[in-house]
Chain A
Amino acid sequence: MSTKTHSSDVERSIVDRIRASPFLTELLSNRIAVAGLSLIVGLFAVAIYARLVYDLDAIVATSFGSNPSEAAPSAQFWFGTDGQARDIFPRVLYGAWYALKFGTATVLASTVLGITAGIVAAYYGDLTDNVIMRTMDVLLSFPSLLLALALVTIFPESLGLWRAVAALTLVYTPRFARVVRGAALKVLEDEYIEATRALGATDPRLLIRHVLPNCLAPITVQSTLNYGLAIIDIAALSFLGFGANPGDPSWGMMLANGVEKGLFSGAWWWSFFPGLFLALTVLGFNLLGDGMRDALDPRMRDAVD
């Protein structure tokens, strides 16, 4: 009973703190962040629209006979058609759904794994901390795309884009673990943690209810910045041939085919539009992440003379 009252007090104080914090106001007055947010909202709208309106099987199938092959953009085919006579426009829109689906899966999985590793390392310390963090250090000593390339080979080809998701999750986890461990170490020094423990809270409860909520700010920034990176890296793996299956409406795959088969024979639209959407998406996340970092860092606010 007393634990309950106590923890709900803590929760209320957290809510108050978030309300009082200038973070959101600061973020929304940051033009760069707002520009990023608008791009991302637009992307979500496009992705949901494509998912609801288009039939995946229809846009994956070749359309010889019904469409001309490699036709330039026109009133009928806004983004032209590809070498398999598929209309590129719905495929590019559906690519937004793919990017968000697989990007979200990657960021979510690496965030959860990273939080677990980071909090456990910070809380138990000593040997546990050393084993976990030294493993993370080793993973961080590989250039990320190269580690992903090597890891992708572990997973069976039939997994398609999920292969890229699995590999990149392992690549990104250490970054989250580091950020979370640092934040958690700071939180664990606070007196209320000692108090909660004295009241008999179990380890998992203490970590999930009390430590985690106070580490959310740095985690959010890291996730946002990593979102863009995940989307661009998934596409890069597909471009190099380790990810999407041929025909999949993924931007990386469309780019690979478009560059290889269309670009230099004149069919520039085949790779141009998927690339444009990919770049705008990643830009959106980078703008938002950058704005968030500014909003969280009060030292960056004052102007110079």
Chain B
Amino acid sequence: MVSKRFIAKRLLLLGPVLFGVATVVFAILHLSPGDPAIAIAGERASQEFVEQVRSDLGLTDPLWEQYVRFLRNTATFDFGESYQVRRGTAVGDILADRLPITIELAVLGQIAGLLFGLPLGILSAVKQDTLTDHFSRVGALTGISVPIYWSGPLLILLFAQVLGILPTSGRIGSTYFIDSKTGFILIDTLIAGNLAAFQSAARHLVMPVIVLGVYSMAFISRMMRSSMLEVVRQDYMRTARAKGQGAKTTVMKHGLRNAFIPVITIIGIQFGSMLGGSVLTETVFEINGIGTLLVEAINKSDYPVVQATVLVFAFMYTIVNLLVDITYSVLDPRIDQ
């Protein structure tokens, strides 16, 4: 049974956490030494003009007034207008364009990680302390240790430059023009019924998904291994074997289901490094998601964009972890304080 109390409690906690997150973002931006008024007016603007811009932005108001206004705007998803990245465009619109790109990448990376991480972890546990186990554990640790901004460029060099079988960067070949309906390029190309474009988009995604997927694969296989090792020692496993069930069936039927539960929590925790990784991946493969947007906005002192992007990242991370906790409580009803 799903514990309604548990879910209600988690949902209630969401408010204070998001409030705290918004406060931290507000504090960071007000502590940073850059001056948004100068960023808008330009370095060479006259003193009066800069002052004019500053009071227009409400930056001359008392700090608490600015804080309250910021919270109110954030609660209504009003992030203001971009100063620099796309001057005068509502930040919400920029995010709506860019967010699906990052989500598509992160979700595909996560799926790839699960697809390879789970079998690897199971194999490692079943063959504990054999060469297979050592090999896959060291492989997983290597996966976490190799920086994306090194493996990514090397993959580009090999597959795009030397072998020429995959495209270097971007999301789709420059000859395709696809209407953005959902923002997810794989879905948009399918909606347009353009299979050649779909293929091009998929080929563009191969390398970014691999570098992100390796990262998540490493975490998942490690967790799956230790969780599986825990489970195989349980009494019900011995009982199943004693009843004459084969080793393989026991592992698959009883072991897997129970071992999978703790792995779900790692998916939530690890989704954060996935989002961090997407910033690096997008930079390496020149994909214009919200990762590259954040880096660009910081470099150009575009504060509304910086604050909205960081908020959205934290929001996604919090929501994913909430969903993970709820899934966990559904799968393991003992989680109910």
Contact = CB atoms under 8 A, between A and B. Distances in A.
B42 interface: no
Size class of the A contact interface (CB-based, 8 Å): 35 or more
Interface residues of B, number: 62
Contacts of B21: 138, 141-142
A290 B141 contact: yes
A32 B142 CA distance: 12
A138 to B, nearest CB: 3
B69 interface: no
A32 B272 contact: no
Interface string A1-33: 000000000000000000000000000000110
Interface of A is mostly: helix
Contact of B273 (A144, A264, A278): A144
Interface stretch (A78-86, A197-205, A211-219, A267-275): A267-275
Contacts of B230: 299
B232 A304 contact: yes
A151 interface: yes
A282 B156 CA distance: 22
A268 B156 CA distance: 12
B332 to A, nearest CB: 19
Contacts of A302: 233
Nearest to B284: A259
A177 to B, nearest CB: 15
Interface string B298-312: 110000001000100
Contacts of B299: 241
Interface stretch (B92-100, B121-129, B201-209): B121-129
Contacts of A143: 271-276, 313-314, 317
Nearest to A240: B295
A287 B143 CA distance: 12
Interface string B30-58: 01111000000000000000000000000
Interface string A275-305: 1101110110011001000000001101111
B28 interface: yes
A137 interface: yes
Nearest to A239: B149
Contacts of A239: 147, 149, 280, 283
Residue with the highest number of chain B CB atoms closer than 10 Å, among A35, A141, A156, A240: A141
Ranked nearest first, the 8 interchain pairs of A and B with the lowest CB-CB distance are A145-B276, A275-B150, A138-B20, A143-B272, A283-B145, A282-B145, A143-B275, A153-B32
Given A145-B280, A156-B33, 5 more contacts: A143-B276, A153-B298, A240-B279, A264-B156, A275-B150
18 contacts: A35-B138, A138-B17, A142-B21, A142-B272, A145-B273, A146-B310, A151-B28, A154-B32, A240-B279, A241-B299, A259-B153, A279-B147, A282-B147, A287-B141, A290-B137, A299-B229, A300-B226, A303-B128
